Amino acid sequence: MDPSPKTEITVQGIAASQGIAYGQIFVYVQNDVEVPSYQVEPEKRIDEVARFDRALVVTRQQITKIKNEVEKNIGPEEAAIFDAHLMVLEDEALIGETIRAFEASGQNIETCFHQVSSRYVQAFSEIDDEYLRERAGDLRDVAQRVLQNLLGQAENALSRLADQRIVVASDITPSDSASLDRTAALALVIDSGSKTSHAVIVARSMKVPAVVGVRNLTQRVHNGDWAIVDGYDGVVILNPSESTLFRYGTIQEQKKSFDAQLLEVNRLPAITLDGVPVTLLANIEKVDEVTRAKAYFAQGIGLYRTEFLFIGTSRMPHEQEQFVAYKTVVEAMAPEPVIIRTLDLGGDKPLAGKSDLFPKENNPFMGFRAIRFCLEHQDIFREQLRAILMASAFGKVKIMYPMVSGTEEMVRANAVLREAMAELRARGVPYDEKVEVGAMIEIPSAAHTADLLAGECNFFSVGTNDLIQYLLAIDRVNDRIAHLYEPTHPALLRTLRFVIDEAHRQNLPVGVCGEMAGDPIFAPLLLGLGIDSLSMSPAWLPAVKYLIRAMSMADARALAAQAMGMRSPKEIFALCDAFYRARVRMD
């Protein structure tokens, strides 16, 4: 039943791009291409392959044009999104499988390409990692374009907007979002998706408010309906009342003023009111993101996710390729430190075209991945370690192993590291012989043997995302139980306290590189528990630094002590939220 135009309805989603918008809704429906199926006569099969080649060329030209327009109108970092699209068109496995399927079946090339690309999309859609799972959308976007070009259909784009509208869609491809008229699109609201989808990244860069995960809102609204989109709190308000409109008008002005304050404060040191300095670092996934980290005054890189050098290609990048990538980041950040995480690949993050290395698993959440994969394939692991060590000659590098479960894996990993050092020494290649090694604490067994692990490394970095997931037995990407994923659960606080106390007892620093680190509501709690550094997405640095400069470390320690005595996650969250609100005022 459609809601009455006079009834105000609030729909909760996920905040994806900050900002507030008010206007009428345009429901965008993107239909899948209908693919005909027929047999191609033997004498026409050479022409059919040539037709496929032409479609790939035309698609490449279209995407290159979009990339150039985005670079001109938005920026080079956002334009780099479409490098992933261009890589799909060069993927030997995807193209090769399509042609082999055509040669074997004789079916038209559209059918073969659709079948092969759909398998790839499905494989990426099932990946646990949110960022990688969203790459299924990139592949689907490119596949739709290729099919449209094969069938002679016009592009399906959002450039048709005739007036200012809030765009509500079940999904939006990156190229569609890039074609948005910034003067016409007031906001984006997407049924599915996440904060890491490329469509959202483009929207964020365009400063268009966005809310995702609103579950079938497209089926509940109509073109012309009025709504408010709150990209700060992830809320969509349908048919807002006059009092709601007035309230949001006031909030919008306050937010704009506060955002300006954040950017100004971000230029200042991260020091508490009682003079305690706090180290704030940045998480990055690609080489070009180091520019953003520096722009936001990060004091180093706390997490460089190296698996993104491997994802999206059908082959392993060799030592020199890896070395160039690591060296670029290290030199750009020097003299600040760069913590390079070794491959968190395998299981739920397969490498395209390498199914022999990554067999299908029933439970990839706890499968053959990360340090387990590296210790099984030591030739790949050793090559990466050599590349990292070579980069250490150009700045301050630290090495971090992911998904460590206990001391045995640390001992074995360090043994491979020593082998890599010996190989470089024999080749006369310089490296930092005192390079520090750390363990990610993201598995309960590692957390509860922190006292033993401390003897095998130089630092700890807590991955709160997975640690919470494993501690509470909560699949954090499962919508049905997502409400049980609670960063303020007493189990997590007690675990963190044990890890921190044992590390400090042995003079090891402890950082946090999970999402909790970048949330200004949770950052004081982490610091009060004794965490030494926080690493986060560069864009989150201003808000966290603002709060640090508005609080004392003594108050943060008192907050943590009070939280440790509480029984309910909701009570602890309320305590942290009150701490935040008492120090951050937007009026």
Q: At what angle do helices 378-391 and 407-427 cross, to 10 degrees?
A: 60
One-character DSSP codes across 14-76: EEEE--EEEEEEEEE--PPPPPP--BPPGGGHHHHHHHHHHHHHHHHHHHHHHHHHHHHHT-H
CB 278 within 8 A of CB 271: yes
pLDDT band with cut points at 50, 70 and 90 for residue 3 = very low
Q: Pinpoint the alpha helices (H) of 407-516.
A: 407-427, 444-447, 450-453, 464-472, 490-505
Higher per-residue confidence, 79 vs 119: 119
Catalytic residue, candidates 112, 198, 457, 576: 198
Average pLDDT over residues 53-76: 79
pLDDT recorded at residue 125: 72
The domain 251-275+454-460+492-587 is placed in CATH, from the list 2.40.110.10, 3.30.70.2860, 3.20.20.60, 3.90.1530.10, at: 3.20.20.60
pLDDT, tens digit, 9 for 90 and up, residues 377-407: 899 999 999 999 999 999 999 999 999 999 9
Angle 251-255-260 (CA atoms, 0-180°, nearest 5)? 155
CB 165 within 8 A of CB 184: yes
The CA distance from 326 to 398, in Å, is 11
Checking 271-277 for CB contacts under 8 A at 24+ apart, the result is: 271/548, 271/549, 272/548, 272/549, 272/551, 272/552, 272/553, 272/556, 273/549, 273/550, 273/551, 273/552, 274/552, 274/553, 274/554, 276/552, 276/553
516 pLDDT more than 80? yes
pLDDT, tens digit, 9 for 90 and up, residues 281-333: 999 888 888 998 999 999 999 999 998 788 756 567 899 999 999 999 999 99
Which range, of 8-22, 413-427, 494-508, averages the lowest pLDDT?
Answer: 8-22
- Strand partners for 189: 168, 211
353 pLDDT more than 50? no
Which range, of 52-56, 215-219, 336-340, averages the lowest pLDDT?
Answer: 215-219
Q: Sheet harboring 20-28: ordered strands across? A: 9-12, 235-238, 226-230, 20-28, 165-169, 185-190, 210-212, 14-17
pLDDT, tens digit, 9 for 90 and up, residues 568-585: 999 999 999 999 999 987
pLDDT recorded at residue 327: 97
The CA distance from 286 to 84, in Å, is 12
Maximum CA pair distance of the chain? Answer: 82
Average pLDDT over residues 134-161: 73
pLDDT recorded at residue 165: 87
Nearest in space to 123 (alpha carbons), one of 308, 350, 363, 345: 350
pLDDT band with cut points at 50, 70 and 90 for residue 541 = very high
pLDDT band with cut points at 50, 70 and 90 for residue 476 = low
The answer to whether residue 576 is catalytic is no
* pLDDT, mean over the chain: 85
Residue type, 300: G
The answer to whether residue 112 is catalytic is no
- Classify the C-alpha dihedral 226-230-231-233 as positive or negative: negative
Cα→Cα distances 141→131, 191, 231, 371, 523, Å: 16, 17, 25, 33, 37
Is CATH 1.10.274.10 what the domain over 42-151 is classified as, yes or no?
Answer: yes
The CA distance from 102 to 109, in Å, is 6
171 pLDDT more than 80? no
Bridge-based pairing of strands 210-212 and 14-17 is antiparallel
pLDDT recorded at residue 65: 80
CB 139 within 8 A of CB 124: yes
In three state form, how does the secondary structure of 292-342 look? HHHHCCCCCEEEEEHHHHCCCCCCCCCHHHHHHHHHHHHHHHCCCCEEEEC
pLDDT recorded at residue 365: 59
pLDDT recorded at residue 361: 59
Residue type, 49: V
The CA distance from 49 to 105, in Å, is 13
Which range, of 234-238, 247-251, 395-399, 447-451, averages the lowest pLDDT?
Answer: 247-251
The tokens describing 394, both together, are: 């150009």
The CA distance from 212 to 189, in Å, is 6
State percent of the chain over pLDDT 70: 83
Bridge-based pairing of strands 226-230 and 20-28 is antiparallel
In this structure, the chain runs to a length of: 587
Domain boundaries, the chain: 9-31+157-241, 42-151, 251-275+454-460+492-587
Work out the number of other CB atoms within 10 angstroms of the CB of residue 135.
22
Nearest in space to 51 (alpha carbons), one of 10, 99, 101, 18: 99
DSSP 268: S
Catalytic residue, candidates 112, 374, 457, 513: 513
The domain 9-31+157-241 is placed in CATH, from the list 3.40.50.2000, 3.40.50.450, 3.50.30.10, 3.30.2320.50, at: 3.50.30.10
CB 270 within 8 A of CB 549: yes
Backbone dihedral angles phi then psi of residue 389, each to the nearest 5 degrees: -60, -40
Bridge-based pairing of strands 436-441 and 165-169 is unpaired
The CA distance from 209 to 202, in Å, is 11
Of 304-313, 354-363, 448-457, highest mean pLDDT: 448-457
Backbone dihedral angles phi then psi of residue 285, each to the nearest 5 degrees: -120, -30
The tokens describing 83, both together, are: 């490098």
